[in-house]
Amino acid sequence: MLKDQPPSSLAQSAQALWYIAPEQAECRTESLPTLTEGDVQVRSVFGALSRGTESLVYRGQVPETEYDRMRAPFMGGAFPFPVKYGYSNVGRVEQGPASLLGQLVYSLMPHQTVFQAAPDAVIVVPEGVEASRAVLGANMETALNAVWDAAPGPGDRIAVIGGGVVGCLVAYLCGHLPGAEVTLVDINAERAATARALGVQFALPQAAPLECDVVIHCSANAAGLTTALGCAGEEATVLELSWYGAGMVAAPLGGAFHSRQIRLQSSQVGHISASRRPRWTYRRRLSAALNMLKDPRLDVLLAPAVDFASLPARLPQILGRQSTVLCQLIRYP
């Protein structure tokens, strides 16, 4: 018998969000198996939509060549459809080892009301991190890895092109470097207030800083990449953090690109940065990212929560190309 709770009181089923066709989704009921001794059962409290990657999944724009690499850790189904996708869940352990029972935990689970997992698939949310803010864990992990890859230093002039969630978090992390001049660049002037809240400067593309030491591109469009290359100083690094799915992007590699010896480097959270790889595990990196979410200023990135059951109807608005939502918070029943 499982500890502390009669088997009859455990949830027998869960509701999960599935993408079933381009720009179509539905909530499906799934039966839960008998909980394996030593595993945990978690009831979701908050989740979040990844507007970047998840919008490509929603529209069916994951390239066939990337099907394996783009699988989320606990994804259901297979690309292109139907697929149960997502990687940001904050929930409470309702059954499992005594050390985890009742704990608020973060995991890379899809959008689902209740789930079961091995204990090493969840991480206890650190004290001082609000449950709703903890959904930024995967985004902060991506930003942290990008900063490692870009290697900015104190006093550097740094431009971050693209004010989405990851871009904002990269700017936030760089803003903690002593003496660094950090500017968030975006076509949406409303992101100026977000930049101020995060403690960095803001500029529209036409006023983006020049002669930067490090430029990090997160806008996922060709115009943003053009701006990023234009911001780079001689022999500077432009870190490409955007992922374009099946899209093709024109890059302006003529002009002074070669004579200025600008370095264009990719970054992807699926790999731990080479500068940390010998010592860091994925779990250590995610744990560090969660610990970086104690600052209440980061709440500026969270859109008002939507109820899980309403997601299929709300996705066109949330993931639409004209959406200005940053991190869409999901509230579970």
Q: In the CATH hierarchy, which fold is given to the domain comprising 139-266?
A: Rossmann fold (3.40.50)
Distance CA(34)–CA(197), nearest Å, equals 46
Q: What is the largest CA-CA distance in the chain?
A: 71
Q: Do domains 7-128+294-331 and 139-266 have the same CATH topology?
A: no
CATH topology of domain 7-128+294-331: Quinone Oxidoreductase; Chain A, domain 1 (3.90.180)
Total-model pTM: 0.93
Given this model, what pLDDT does residue 9 score? 57
Cα–Cα distance measured from residue 314 to residue 308, given in angstroms and rounded to the nearest whole number: 10
Q: How far apart are the first and last CA of the chain?
A: 27
Which sequence spans correspond to the domains of the chain? 7-128+294-331, 139-266
Looking at residue 33, its pLDDT comes to 94
Looking at residue 6, what is its pLDDT?
Answer: 40
- What local confidence, expressed as pLDDT, does residue 39 receive? 98
pLDDT value, residue 267: 94
The pLDDT profile of the chain, 333 residues, written as one tens digit per residue, is 333 444 445 789 999 999 999 999 999 999 999 999 999 999 999 999 988 889 999 999 999 999 998 899 999 999 999 999 999 999 999 999 999 999 999 999 999 999 999 999 999 999 999 999 999 999 999 999 999 999 999 999 999 999 999 999 999 999 999 999 999 999 999 999 999 999 999 999 999 999 999 999 999 999 999 999 999 999 999 999 998 877 788 888 988 899 999 999 999 999 999 999 999 999 999 999 999 999 999 999 999 999 999 999 999 999 998 898 999 999 999
